[in-house]
Structure 1
Amino acid sequence: MTEHTPEPEDVFAWIDGEERAREQAGLVRTLRPRPSDSPLLDLAGNDYLGLSRHPETIRGAREAAERWGGGATGSRLVTGTTELHARLEDELAAFCGFEAALVLSSGYAANLAAVTALSDRDTLVVSDAGNHASIVDGCRLSRARIAVTPHGDADIARKTLAGHEGRALLVSDSVFSVDGDAAPLRAYAAACRDEGAALVVDDAHGLGVLGEGGRGALHAVGLAGAPGVVATMTLSKSLGSQGGVVLGPAKVIRHLINTARTFIFDTGLAPAAAGAALASLRLLQREPERADRVREVATALYGRLTASGLAAARPDAAVVSVRAPSASAALRWAADCREAGLFVGCFRPPSVPDGISRLRLTARANLTGEEIDRAVEVILRTAPAGAAGL
């Protein structure tokens, strides 16, 4: 007679309760694989300049892969730095107006690198409450003294920096990803200069959209290349590729090469992504009007939707945010748009710091007037009860 062996306890049983809670709150997230020939009109992705499928971007990726292979083969400090990476860094720095640049595998990794490498346990890091999750995580990993200040409030940021001892950083997005509003960069920079702090700005949503020819938000306000300013950017939005970059004084970049863990211990950016980003950057330099066009599209979407009674945040760059009555209503609204042939973003807690769910629309420079008309018609036709006048 064999002894019965009891079934092992499900150590992940606690997940069942969390899944039920998410379902009840309308906060379940699912993956939807996108076909290469999707018929949907895309106002959800961050391909602001419409370059991800541009023939020159694709050719840049293909030629890089054919020359250097499918992957970087190692970390940047071992075998993962190619001549292509160096050219991309040089041209990004020159275009954006900084002394030097360092390319990483993602914008997320770039933010972690900048915040953690420029701070320590004795550093004061002042972080805008609207900052992206990658900045928030960088602050946590830095083990520095963190002070979260109200969104866009430069006066409180200044008061928080006043009288600090040791190093200090003020960290902010340039354009915030939820509502698409711009940070008070000039006021933040003035506070940093007066209080002896460094300014670190995530310009992910400014590159390719703001500044002369799309050189970014810092360039637009005269802060590009300033000695106390560091920028991070992503190559996955306006440049239609993948990866991230930190830009700043050359000594800052040298410091990151020696201390930033998300640079030192991560595999280098794939050559195809570097090639695509470089091709897109060169295309933007030849066609700077793309930056103007994406702002025009965002303004048109905002004007049409608000004129019809929907509550939308005035866009400072390419993001147009439209408020929904609830998380479940936002989810249903996005699904109805998708069924009608329009793909829009859906932001719900915890992605929205104020708890208000939204549809998030991203303007693209290559949207036609007819496509704008179609998008507005679908959004208005599928709007849930209570969406107007929020």
Structure 2
Amino acid sequence: MQLFKNAQVYAPRYLGKKDVLLGGGKIIAIEDSIDLSANSFITVIDASGLILTPGFVDSLVHITGGGGEGGYTTRTPEMHINDAIKGGVTTMVGVLGTDAQTRSLENLLAKAYALEEQGLSVFCYTGSYHLPMVTITQSIKHDIMLIDKFIGVGEVAIADHRSSQITTHEMARLTSEARVAGMLAGKVGIVSIHVGDEPSKLDLLEQVISQFDIPITQYYPTHINRSKALLEAGIDFALKGGFIDFTTSTTVQIIAQGEVPAPEALASALDKNVPISQLTMSSDGNASLPVFDNKGNLIDLQMGLVSSLHQAMVDAVKLFNVPIELALASITESPANILRLTQKGRIAVDMDADINLLNSHSLAIEAVYSKGELVFSEGQSRLKIPF
């Protein structure tokens, strides 16, 4: 058991100075004062001057690597668990990307189970960018219903020269399959959408929603900060009731080509009165960050970092004046609620004991607890893992 004393608790809503008690991997008490003596069963942590937050929820990570747009040598490596915990990420969703030929769902699941054994909480999407959808059971419905970690489909690429140029009927069909499977399995059954930089933006989703009996909340489009034009379209989509996600991994060159930094995009959406419950940020960790010329030729390639999620939250607060409660919600409560991860994203009794301790001035990460276990402190991983 761990007892945090005198922490400034953001749940992500500010609760004030509280004591927080963890036990059995859960939060078991939050009180103004909890008086228990340190002994062999209880570790007391003085959290005076620290901010206590939920562990971060990263809704899009290429845990088995991504890339390959420049040939085999440009395939990015798998994510190491230390890359997540040093950035305060305790829950994530693993995905395939452009390459679903040399990257497989079987490997994605194996990596997810490995990360779980090492201390994280990991969920996955079946499918990938392209049609026909790759699956394990030869069926989207069966994958979502029968494989515990699959909570939806994605990322399905639209408005991108690397996509399958999917039609409205094809999108409606796969969305319906994911939705019904989610209903039957008690999961979200959401469709994660990779949005590229083609002029069509979110048009395909708008057409499907207008032509078919599919709610706007069945889609979770990401990379909405790719350009100012896409950001405007995304804000309009959100004001109609949809969810939108901003990508925190980027490069100087990509920003120079027109991408809006994720914290700035978050601030812009909030200024347009989009509810924080419909706004999230994700890292796109270990994805390739390709830059193409106007003929579609790859001219630069770097890799996304899971740690960019925390930095984007800090920048949102310090550079763009986003209230800390809202900046935190975008990487905790909002993605957890959208994905129906009911034990994640909040500091509350009976929730999973995923805890970050932040410096109250710099918002730097001082310690990370995942399911009640200390996994990161004093700038170092506390995990005992083989590699």
TM-score, length-scaled by structure 1: 0.28
Larger Rg: 1
Q: Which has the higher strand share?
A: 2
TM-score, length-scaled by structure 2: 0.28
Q: Which has the higher helix share?
A: 1
